[in-house]
Structure 1
Amino acid sequence: MLFIGDDWAEGHHDIEVEDDTGRRLARMRLPEGVEGLARLHEVIAEHLETEPDGIGTDVPTDGAVIVGIETDRGVWVSALLACGYQVYAINPMSAARYRERHCTSGAKSDAGDAHVLAEIVRVDRDHHRRIAGDSTRVEALKLLARAHQGMIWDRTRHLQRMRSALREYFPAALTAFDNLAAPDTLALLQKAPDPARAARLTTGQITAELARAHRRGDRTATATRIRDALRAPSLRQPAAIEDAYAIVVVGQARMLEHLSEQIDELEQQVKHSFRRHPAAEIVRSCPGLGDVLGARVLAEFGDDPHRYRNAKSRKNYAGTSPITRASGKRKTVSARYARNKHLADACHQWAFCSMNTSPGARAYYDALRAREVGHHAALRQLGNRLVGILHGCLKNGTVYDEITAWPHVPSAVAA
C-alpha cells in the first residue's frame, strides 16, 4: 500500500509518498492541474505493486493508494476519487495537533505538512473520516443549498449595515418602516434616503409604492402612519453628513433588492433539485422540514448509505450531540461548536419548526424547559433527537411516523 500526504495550495501541491512501514519513497512539488496529476500517477505507478487486469496490462490493486489532504472539494480531489484512491479529508486543526506531535519546536513547512498528512493516513486513518461517496445529484444540491443560504446570510449582513447607518442619521426611518427588507421599504428609501426628502413624501406616493409591492391590508392607513413618522420632529446631522449617509443607504438598498431577486431564483432551483432526489419523500415527511430546509439537511448529510455507522455518528457530524469533558471529580457537558455551520443552522431551524406540527417534539421541548433548560439548549437536544429519528427513517427506507418516533410521549400517541 502507498500512503500519500498532499499539502495543497492554490497553485501547487507538496506531495510525500510513504510505504506501509513509513519509509519515504518520494517527495516533490507538483503544479495544480492535469500536468501535476499525471506526474502523481507516474510516481504511484513506479512504487505500487500492480497485478494483471486480464488484458495484458497492469492496474493498481483496489484500495492500495490512500491520500490525506486538508480539503474535500475541488477538481483535484474529484480526480483523485475518480481514480479509485481512498481520500481522507483531514481537518486542519487535527493536522496541526499531529504536527506538534512530530515537531515540538513549532517549525512548519509545506513539505513537513505533507509528511504529517501521510503519517496520519498511514497510522491513524481509522480515526478519521473518508470523503463520502455521495452521488453527484446530492453534491449539486449541496452547491445550490449553500449558495442560497449564503446569500440569505449576506442579505442579513447588508440589512444590519443599512440599519446601523439609518440609526446614525435617520432614526425616524426605523420607526416608520417595520420591515427594512420589504420591497416597498427599499423603494421608498431609494426615493427619499434622508430626512429632508422623506418629509416631502406624500400619502399618495407612499401608497403607490405599497401597491407596487403588493402590500396587504389597509394601504392608506399604513401610508398615513409612515408619512407621520417620517415628518415627526427629530435630531439631525449636518447636511453634508446626511448626504453622505444617504448615498450609502441608497447603495445598500439597491444591493438588497438584487440579493432578494437572486435568493428567490435560487430557492426555486433548490426546490426543483431536491424534489428529484429519491430520499426527498422521506426527508419531507419529518416534521418541520419543507423543500428548502429539507434540501439543506439532505445536502449536508449526503446520501452515501455507508457514511454513518450509526445514529450517534450522524449526530456527531450534525454537531447536535454534546461534548463531555471529565477530569478527576470534575465533569462538564457543553455544546459542540466545532461543526458544520450550514448543517448546525439547518438542524436548529428544523428543531424550532418541528414543534408546530409534531406533538411529540413539542412535548419533548416543553419537558426540557420545565427542567429549566435554556431555549437554545433545548432546541439542540430536540435537534439531536430528530437527527436520530431521520437516521432511522433513511436506514430503513420508511417515512416519518409520529407514534413510532415518540412512543413515550402521551400527546404524540393521542394525536
Structure 2
Amino acid sequence: MLFIGDDWAEDHHDIALVDEEGRLLVQRRLPEGIQGIEDLHELVADPLDEQDGPDQVMVGIETDQGPWVAALLAAGYTVFAVNPLQAARYRDRLGTSGAKSDKGDALVLAELVRTDRRHHRPITADSDTAEEVKVLARSHQSLIWARQRQVNVLRSNLREYYPAALAAFGNSLADRDAVAVLAAAPGPEAARKLTPARVQTLLRKAGRRRYLESRTEEIITALRSGQLGARAGIEAAYTATTKALIAVIAELNIQIQALQGQVEECFGRHPDAEIYLSQPGLGAVLGARVLAEFGDDPHRYADARARKNYSGMSPITRASGKKRVVLARYARNRRLSDALYGQAFAALNASPGARAYYAARRSRGATHHQALRALGNRLVGILHGCLRHHTLYDENTAWPAAQKEDIPAAA
C-alpha cells in the first residue's frame, strides 16, 4: 500500500509519498489542475506492483471538496479529509521543535493516514443530485449571511444619524417594507417629505397587501417622531452610504429568492426528498441543507450514533477523577448543526412528541438551548432510521405512546 500526504494551496500541492514501513519515497510540489493530477498518477504508478489497484493508495488532505479531490476519488484512491486541527495536533506528535513547512505538513498527513486511518472517515462519493443540492444550499446560505453583514452595517449607520428608521423597522431592515421605504427616504430630510399616500404606494409596490393602512400609519409616526440628528454635512454623507447599502440589500434579496427556487427544485428531484420533508420542522430549504451536509451515501454512517456525532448535536463528556461535565460539541459542521437546531425549534410546534421531549428536558433543569440540542440529537436518530428503512416519519413510531405518557409525567 502507498500513503500520500497532500498539503494543498490555491495553485499547487506539496506531495509526500511513503510506503507501509513509513519510508519516504517521493516529495514533490505539483501544480494545480490536469497536469498536476497526471504527474501524481505517474508518481503513484512507479512503486505499485502490476497487480495492485488504485484502492491500495490512501490519500490524506485537509479538504473534502473541489476538482482536485473529485479527481482523486475518480481515480479510485481512498481519500481521507483530515480536520486541520487534528493535523496540527498530529504534527506535535511527530516533533516538538515547533518547526512547520508545507513539505513537513505533507509528510504529517501521509503518516497520519498510514498509522491512524482507522480513526478517520474516508470521503464517500455522493450522488450528482446531492452534490448539486450541496452547492446550491451552501450558496443560498452564504448569500443570507452576506445580506446580514450588510444589514449590520446599515443598522450601525442609522444609529448615527437616522434613529427614526430603526424605530420604524426595528430588526427588519432587510424586509421588503424597510427596503422600499428607505430606498425612497434614505435620510431624515427625505423622510419628512413622505406622505401617507406615498408610503402606501411604496408598500404596495413592494408586495404588501394586508394591514396596509395600519402599517403606513406606524411608519409615518415613527419617521416623524422627535429624534436627535447629525450635522448637515455628516447627515448627507450617511444618507449617501445608506442609499448604497439599501441598493446592495435589495439586490441580495432578489438573488436569495431566485436561488431559493433553485434549491427547492433541485432538492425536490432527490429520491430521499419525501423522507426529509416528512420530518417535523424540516421544509424544503432546511431539508436541502441537512441533505447537503449529511450526503446521501448509504454507507457513510455506520449507525445512528455516528450520524449524531457528525451532526454536532450529541454532547461530549469530559471526566477526570471526581469531575465529570457534559458539554456541547464544539468541533462540528456548523452549517449542519445550525440547520438541525432550526429544525428542533420548528418541531416544537409541528410534533407533540417533540414538544413533550423538550418539556421533559426543561423540567430536569436543562436550559432552552440544551433542551433544543437534545431534541435535535433525537431527531437525527429518527431521521437515520427513516433513511435506513426508506420510510416516512410517523409520529406514533417516533414517540411511542408509553414514552409520551411518561414524558409529561416527568415534566
Shorter-chain TM-score bucket reads over 0.9
Aligned to 1:404: 397
Contact 1:13 1:31 in 2 (8 A): yes
Cα distance in 1 for partners of 2:83, 2:77 equals: 19
Spell out, residue by residue over 1:358-400, the C-alpha distance to the aligned partner (whole angstroms, 9 max, x if none). Answer: 1100000111112221111111000000000100111111111
Tell me the CA shift for residue 282 of structure 1: 1.0
Report what 2:305 is aligned to. Answer: 312
Aligned residues: CA RMSD: 1.5
Report the counterpart of residue 179 of structure 2 in structure 1: 186
What are the equivalent positions in structure 2 for 1:37-116 lying under 5 Å apart?
37-51=37-51, 60-116=52-108
Instruction: Return closer, same or farther for 1:328/1:69 CA change in 2, 3 Å cut-off.
Output: same
On the 8 A contact 2:17/2:25 being kept in 1, the answer is: yes
Structure-1 separation of matches of 2:290 and 2:63 = 21
Q: Which amino acid aligns with 1:379?
A: L
Alpha-carbon distance in 1 for matches of 2:391, 2:225: 60
| Structural mapping, 1:354-393, within 5 Å | 354-393=347-386
d(CA) in 1 for partners of 2:79 and 2:149?
Answer: 36
Structure 1: gaps spanning 5 or more residues:
52-59
Q: 1:230 to 1:403 in 2, by over 3 A?
A: same
Q: CA deviation at 1:299?
A: 1.1
Which has the higher mean CA deviation after the structures are superposed, 81-90 or 42-51? 42-51
Hey, what's the Cα distance between the residues in 2 that align with 1:168 and 1:350?
Answer: 37
SS of alignment partner, residue 124 of structure 1: helix
Moved more, 308-317 or 184-193: 184-193
How far off its partner does 1:221 sit?
A: 3.4
Residues 218, 373 of structure 1: alpha-carbon distance in 2 compared, 3 angstrom cutoff: same
The structural deviation recorded for 1:236 is 1.2
Question: Which whole-Å CA distance do the structure 2 matches of 1:229 and 1:401 have between them?
Answer: 48
1:269 aligns to what? 262
Structure 1 position 125 matched with structure 2 position 117: yes
Pick which of 216-225 and 20-29 moved more. Answer: 216-225
Q: Residue 240 of structure 1: CA displacement?
A: 1.0
Please say which of residues 80-89 and 132-141 is displaced more in the overlay.
132-141
Structure 2 length as normaliser, TM-score?
0.96
Q: What secondary structure sits across from 2:291 in the alignment?
A: helix
CA distance in 2, matches of 1:37, 1:3: 16
Distance in 1 (alpha carbons) for counterparts of 2:290 and 2:89 = 30
Letter of the structure 1 residue corresponding to residue 309 of structure 2: N
Mapping for residues 233-382 of structure 1, pairs under 5 Å: 233-382=226-375
Letter of the 1:3 counterpart: F
- Cα deviation for residue 177 of structure 1 reads 2.6
Normalised TM-score (structure 1): 0.95
Aligned-residue offset at 1:202: 1.1
Among 202, 206, 210, the residue aligned to 1:213:
206
Q: Partners of 2:266 and 2:37 in 1: how far apart? A: 32
SS in structure 2 opposite 1:63?
Answer: helix
Q: Name the amino acid aligned to 1:207.
A: Q
**Matching residue within 134, 143, 152 for 2:144:** 152
Closer/same/farther in 2, CA of residues 400 and 218 from structure 1, 3 Å limit: closer
Could you tell me how far apart the structure 2 residues matched to 1:108 and 1:375 are? Answer: 43
* d(CA) in 2 for partners of 1:283, 1:328: 43
Tell me, yes or no, if structure 1 residue 139 matches structure 2 residue 131.
yes
Percent identity over the alignment is: 56
Q: Secondary structure at the match of 1:26?
A: strand
Aligned to 2:166: 174
Amino acid paired to 1:120: L
Give the corresponding residue for 1:57.
none
Is the contact between residue 182 and residue 246 of structure 2 (CA under 8 Å) also seen in structure 1? yes
The equivalent of 2:26 in structure 1 is 26
Q: Is the 8 A contact 1:403 1:412 kept in 2?
A: no
1:47 counterpart SS class: coil
In the alignment of these two chains, the number of paired residues is 405
Distance 1:33 1:223 in 2: 57
Amino acid at match of 1:119: E
SS at match of 1:278: coil
